[in-house]
Structure 1
Amino acid sequence: MDATAGPVWGRREQQDFRSRVRGTLLGAALGDALGAPVNGLDIDAIRRAHGAAGITGPAPAHGRRGAVTHLTQMTLFSVDGLIRAQVRRDTGAWHPPTDLHRAYLRWAVTQRDWGPDERREEDGWLAREEWLYARRDPPRALLTGLGDDTMGTPEAPKNPGEAGPEAAARSAPFGLLVGWEPQLVTQLAVECAAQTHGRPAAYLAAGGYAAIVHGLARGESLDAAVQRALVLLAARPGHQPVTDALRQALGAVRQGMPTPERVSRLSGKGTAEGLVAVAVYCALVGEDVRHGLCLAVNMDGPGAAAGALTGGLLGALHGETALPPAWLAELEGRPTILELADDFAMEMTQGPALHGPAASSPAWLARYPRGAEGALTG
């Protein structure tokens, strides 16, 4: 796997990119946190708990308002893995799926250990963030897929029948590789999704979602980004459930006022392709970020994943300043998310100044070590 040389970064382009990176990661976390209190409930149960309009703002989950789930945890480790892959590229070891797998194994350790006391320096700074050790109902597919050191691939995936949305919901960061060609972004997301979710529609939904985020991060409209993703997916065996779901989302936009019932129909049985379709629909019809996220989470089933996927699209499309500030004020882990987002933006725009032939920052290499393993404690 290789990538293009990337764009030429002027100051304005760097600022726009950083805003979209922050928007994507914060937006996904906001949607996750908004959906967490109603995750798994049907529409009637949501209305009984939160009123006729459903949930309309942060509510308690996991002991606090603004709490995120395993979806945000794993998204952050996706970012960490992508930065580590770029840093390790200097060594000639260029295989991003392996670096992402090591990052996900570092996340898996957080679900087994009580805290970061035993982590090695090679694990980097994110693995030492204590708040990430909270266990937020990770599904069995994540724990079994990352239960040993063997890396799943599309040819030999982990959990071959797993159809859930969790791999897609951690895939927004791949779309932020704006210097890569879209087909390479799609391929990387597919390969990394197969590490836990082996049903073709599940890993292709992750690839399609990453391709859509990629288009938005490059300044395309949402409709144009979806159309490009449809073309990229059409060449891949097993794409039909995913492309059908995306086309249904586009068609639903023209069917009248959005309702929770319409959103629930798009989600199907909570599959990866259904939840990506929900995200596309809610991002297209939402009057603003707040409205789009509320549409996504007030539905039958996995509201946290629907919110995270929708928030990633809206954040990539509009940037960080479009996100509701009162919701951000309560968001769990916001300082960590911002720090990681800014590190990602700096690595992608100024990496050679941090670890190139002419210069090397010891502080940066301590944050994102080049070590060949750097994953497997616990």
Structure 2
Amino acid sequence: MASTVCSPPVPAPDDAAGLRARARGALLGLAVGDALGAPAENLKPSEIRARWGRITGFVAETPCGTDDTEYTIFSGLLLARHGSALTPAHVEAAWHEWIADREEGPFRGAGFSERGTLENLRRGLAAPISAQHRHAWSDGLAMRAAPAGVFAAGRPAEAARLAAVDGSVSHEGEGIHGGRAVAAGVAAAMAGASPVVVVASALAVVPDDSWTARCLRRAAAVAHRGERALRSAVVVGGYPWTDLAPEAVALAFGAYAAADGDFVQAVLTAVNMGRDADTTAAVAGALAGATCGVSAIPAQWAAAIGPARGRCLPAMAGHHVLDIADLLTSPPTGPEPPDDPTDPLDRADDNHDNHDIP
């Protein structure tokens, strides 16, 4: 059953400069949230307080993003190349070319959903069968869905559609719903929507009776009552893993709503709630960064974010989230250039037949 929440009116995107500032805010905000939250991942609030008190900035000597940032770059590059014409075949080919068919190396930070997807792809399974694994409900799509919202600024439904295409290789069910919600929320924020409308936009693109929708509604209802109330409303107590998409997405939107869209407060609220803190803070950072623009991100935090190191995805090494933001908000300048055999995107296109992609 589709959501009964009507898709709210969303303002038209700002001028080109304003749109780029929001795009940079969204993706740099995601990377900042990821790096801030990484040390607190899988911890309880009590454990965070015992180690650091309340986290108010980077607690690692060398802040570094995780797979959340590198997979965001991955999805952003795909959208920059294919735009609204993105298909599951494009996504599957890129997974093969950039990840599955490479020397894997340590693959640090990869979640269960990524592992399951790679195992299936290497067995010769194609999308959507490649998404049929034990962790298809994870927040692995939600963590990389912000580029769809940046690309489809002001068009939440289109952003959600593109996120679902991206996720067709790796996720299904609640995992897809979580990605759709994040993409739609970022798309609304990119157009200047208020936090209330951002949350409503997310709810409008997921089934009304889904676990994701129920968690989002509970989070929005209690967000201003504080972190403890927010955790109590959505956290699945006793479950050993923290990457449940409905839970992580609701915590992220709840942190954003509790802060009324303020970047610093949204990200720090997400970080200090623990659980899958790198992902919840990354999503909260993307939403608030899109709302407030890149200037809202403290300079010290922004300066700590450099090009991706490729610790999880070696093919993403050297790419900076700001460059991805600029690519996603740059209008076409002419005919598509000829294929570059050194470009992973071009190689992915050329190798469709090698992977039995229809």
TM (normalized to structure 1)?
0.75
Following superposition, the deviation at residue 338 of structure 1 comes to: 1.7
- Structure 1 pair 263–297 and aligned structure 2 pair: CA distance change class (3 A): farther
Matched-pair contact (CA < 8 Å) for 2:189–2:198 = yes
Q: Is 2:93 the counterpart of 1:102? A: yes
Q: Which runs of 5+ in 1 are unaligned?
A: 1-8, 115-133
Aligned pairs for 1:1-378 (under 5 A) are: 13-51=15-53, 53=54, 55-60=55-60, 64-86=61-83, 94-109=85-100, 112-113=103-104, 135-147=107-119, 148=121, 150-153=125-128, 157-159=131-133, 161-178=135-152, 181-198=155-172, 200-234=173-207, 239-254=209-224, 256=225, 258-259=226-227, 261-269=228-236, 270=242, 271-286=244-259, 288-333=262-307, 336-346=320-330, 349=331, 351=332, 353-355=333-335, 360=337, 369=346, 372-373=349-350
**Matched position secondary structure for 1:166:** coil
After superposition, the C-alpha distances for 1:334-355 in whole angstroms (9 at most, x for unaligned) are 7722222222222xx2x1x242
After superposition, the C-alpha distances for 1:232-262 in whole angstroms (9 at most, x for unaligned) are 3237xxx4211111111211135x3x23x23
- Structure 1 pair 110–252 and aligned structure 2 pair: CA distance change class (3 A): farther
Following superposition, the deviation at residue 180 of structure 1 comes to: 8.0
Distance 1:138 1:156 in 2: 17
Matched-pair contact (CA < 8 Å) for 2:113–2:135 = no
Following superposition, the deviation at residue 309 of structure 1 comes to: 0.9
**Matched position secondary structure for 1:56:** coil
Following superposition, the deviation at residue 156 of structure 1 comes to: 7.3
After superposition, the C-alpha distances for 1:109-130 in whole angstroms (9 at most, x for unaligned) are 598445xxxxxxxxxxxxxxxx
**Matched position secondary structure for 1:333:** coil
Distance 2:278 2:339 in 1: 38
Stretches of 4+ aligned residues off by more than 6 angstroms: none
After superposition, the C-alpha distances for 1:88-112 in whole angstroms (9 at most, x for unaligned) are x8xxxx4433223333444425984
Distance 1:367 1:15 in 2: 29
- Structure 1 pair 264–185 and aligned structure 2 pair: CA distance change class (3 A): same
Matched-pair contact (CA < 8 Å) for 2:235–2:247 = yes
**Matched position secondary structure for 2:291:** helix
Matched-pair contact (CA < 8 Å) for 1:289–1:324 = no
Distance 1:354 1:275 in 2: 40
Distance 2:125 2:78 in 1: 17
Matched-pair contact (CA < 8 Å) for 1:266–1:278 = no
Following superposition, the deviation at residue 167 of structure 1 comes to: 1.3
Matched-pair contact (CA < 8 Å) for 1:266–1:274 = no
Following superposition, the deviation at residue 189 of structure 1 comes to: 1.4
Give, as a single letter, the amino acid of the residue that structure 1 aligns with 2:219: A
- Aligned Cα root-mean-square deviation (Å): 3.1
- Structure 1 pair 300–265 and aligned structure 2 pair: CA distance change class (3 A): farther
Matched-pair contact (CA < 8 Å) for 1:43–1:299 = yes
- Give the total of aligned pairs: 323
**Matched position secondary structure for 1:316:** helix
After superposition, the C-alpha distances for 1:253-284 in whole angstroms (9 at most, x for unaligned) are 35x3x23x234224423321111111111112
Distance 2:301 2:101 in 1: 26
TM (normalized to structure 2)?
0.79
Give, as a single letter, the amino acid of the residue that structure 2 aligns with 1:246: L
Q: Which runs of 5+ in 2 are unaligned?
A: 1-11, 237-241, 309-318
Distance 2:306 2:78 in 1: 21
Distance 2:351 2:258 in 1: 43
Match of residue 120 from structure 1: none
Task: Choose 38-47 or 184-193, whichever is displaced more.
Answer: 184-193
Following superposition, the deviation at residue 178 of structure 1 comes to: 2.5
Matched-pair contact (CA < 8 Å) for 1:21–1:341 = yes
Match of residue 119 from structure 1: none
Distance 1:265 1:111 in 2: 42
**Matched position secondary structure for 2:206:** helix
After superposition, the C-alpha distances for 1:47-71 in whole angstroms (9 at most, x for unaligned) are 11102x2x221122xxx52201111
Distance 1:234 1:362 in 2: 40
Match of residue 130 from structure 1: none
Matched-pair contact (CA < 8 Å) for 2:26–2:288 = yes
Matched-pair contact (CA < 8 Å) for 1:29–1:72 = yes
Following superposition, the deviation at residue 179 of structure 1 comes to: 6.3
